[in-house]
Structure 1
Amino acid sequence: MPYAALHAKAALDDLKVAARSAPGIMVGVTIVTTAVANLQGMGEAKSNWNSLAKALEVEYPNIIGNAVFLSRSGWIADDREAFLHATSLFGGDLQKLSGLCYNMESQVDQVRDRYALYWMEIGALAASVLGYVVLCQAMKLTPHLRVAGEILLTRLSVLTNAMIAQKTKLLYGFLAVAGATLGTSSQAMGQLFSIQPSEEAGIDFERAVIDTSPPSVRIAPKRELPARPQPQPET
């Protein structure tokens, strides 16, 4: 189990142990349970976005470059210039898509880090609360401190729940902003897959036919003829 998941489990276990002596803390336990997340899955998603971004940045442009190099001869008219222009535009679009993937990786990483920080804070709080609960329980075993121990235990429960609620509220506030940003990036990426020519520019590939038969009349390319010598005037 990853370290972050162990940290979350330890924090939950400490809070549950504390709630045995202070049942009011179960409210806080319920709150933090809603913030349990798959941090390992977020890490894998980050790695996947990074791999895709690098492929779009390096691997695919190299393939295009090799295609340009291998097809450097055998062109007619302005076809080669048109092909180079198309590959240049396509390469630029790949770079833009790569940048979008890097952006998605960064946003997923920020969400994962925020969850990890949240559980670190909850873990530190849970350890402190557990220590105070033990102290209050010890006070309750002493006749002249029993009432004070019960009062402190009640106040500790209220304070713990309030701190957990505040930290969880901050986490959800961050997630709301991050979710909106991720949604915008996802929408931009989704638009890339819906771009297609329409109307007159549309192509029906099921009906498209390429005529490979040679022309009936061969037309020789235009060439400059050498200038004819002018006749010399008679003397």
Structure 2
Amino acid sequence: MFDRNKTLWCGWIIKGPRHKFFYTGDTGFCADEFRKLGDIHGPIDLSAIPIGAYEPRWFMSPQHIETGMPDQGNTTFCQLYILPTQQKWYVLPTQQKYYVLPMTLWCGWIIKGPRHKFFYTGDTGFCADEFRKLGDIHGPIDLSAIPIGAYEPRWFMSPQHIDPGEAVQIHQLAKSKKSLGVHWGTYEMGSSEGYLEPREKLAEAVAAAGLGPDEFVTLAHGQSWRVEG
């Protein structure tokens, strides 16, 4: 899902030779976008969603896995592992009522196919012990999708959103071979950094960690990235 004028915040559709699979780690209600995704990419063979995330279930797939920690799901074409994320919840006043955020589970995912492993952190703050444990159990990871945006001001955002430097640490702790920066440049999300700053800060953090420039990347609209291996 994206704003065509900016960059990337997303749920994921994974297309294999015979199957199409949708998953997300958290969701707000966005019925039109889910309908569009279903119209463009459907029929989807399977949707994997955290407990309570009803919106994508309605529009994406007649078959879905709605799961909670520490569940594992098996399908005919992959294994799914649900992972914990760190979040801080709020009660937000709206024009008509108070909207209570802790209504659904937010999570990350490990997806294991016959030859490769993919990791999506979900929307999360930084917890070194959990990501180190993930790397020890599931690593090495072939490809990870790690948030890099909506992190300022840190006093407010750090419990639930990592910054680019922490994203690089997660890349290393999870033993990820390649990583893609997501969750940046699209929505305001209450943060104060410029919408291109996450990409710039990530490049600085990657260089400071001594990683190659193609180990942890960001993509522009329409850009393709072929991951070998």
Q: TM-score, normalised by structure 2?
A: 0.21
Greater length-normalized contact order (CA 8 Å, ≥ 6 residues apart): 1
Higher Rg of the two aligned structures = 1
Greater strand share, 1 or 2? 2
Greater helix share, 1 or 2? 1
